[in-house]
Structure 1
Amino acid sequence: MYQQPVAVTIAQLESAINHWRDRRPASDEDQTVLCAEARALADVYGFLIFSGAPSVEYSTLNAMQREALAAVLR
C-alpha cells in the first residue's frame, strides 16, 4: 500500500519528472514539451530551486501533482 510522504524532496521531484519524460517523451523533436504530469511537477521543482528550499510539504501539492508523484513513488 502506498503511504504518502510528509515532504517531497527536490531529488524526488527530479526523479519523477525524468520518469514522466521517459514515459511520455515530446512528440515534436524540434520543441521540448513536457507532458502534463511532468509539467505539473516542474512547477513545484522550479519553486524549490527559486526559493532554495530542499523540500515541499506533500499537503501543499494539488491533485494532479500528487497523482503524478504517487505514480512514481509507489
Structure 2
Amino acid sequence: MDITLPELEQVINYWRTQRPSTGEERALSPEVNGLAKLYALMIFHRQKSIPLETLDPACLQLIEGWRKQLA
C-alpha cells in the first residue's frame, strides 16, 4: 500500500493541529518535522506516492494514527 503526496499533506495538517508549533521561532514538533522531511524528499524526487513499507516506523505510526481518526 502507498501513501500519496496529497494524503501526506493531510497527515501533516492533522498532526500540526495535534502538536502545534512552539516558541517564538514557531519550531515544528518532532512529529511534524519527521513528516515534513518525508514530504520534502517526495517533492525533490518528484514522487506522487511512496510505499508504506519503505517508511521509518515513526512516520508509519503517525500515518496510521491519522488513518484511525478518519475511520
Report the Cα distance in structure 2 between the residues aligned to 1:55 and 1:32, rounded to whole angstroms: 29
Q: TM-score, normalised by structure 1?
A: 0.84
Q: How far 1:41 moved relative to its partner? A: 1.0
Residues 21-44 of structure 1, C-alpha deviations (whole Å, 9 max, x = no match): 11111121x312111111111111
Q: Residue 48 of structure 1 aligns with which residue?
A: 42
Whether contact under 8 Å (1:38, 1:68) holds in the other structure is no
Q: TM-score, normalised by structure 2?
A: 0.87
Q: Residue 34 of structure 1 aligns with which residue?
A: 28
Report the Cα distance in structure 1 between the residues aligned to 2:58 and 2:34, rounded to whole angstroms: 7
Which secondary structure state, in structure 2, belongs to the residue aligned with residue 11 of structure 1?
helix
Gaps of 5+ in 1: 1-5
Q: Which has the higher helix share?
A: 2
Taking only aligned residues, the RMSD between alpha carbons, in angstroms, comes to: 1.0
Q: Residue 53 of structure 2 aligns with which residue?
A: 59
Q: Percent identity?
A: 28
- Which stretches of structure 1, 4 residues or more, deviate above 2 A after TM superposition? none
Gaps of 5+ in 2: none
Residues 28-65 of structure 1, C-alpha deviations (whole Å, 9 max, x = no match): 1x312111111111111101111111011100001100
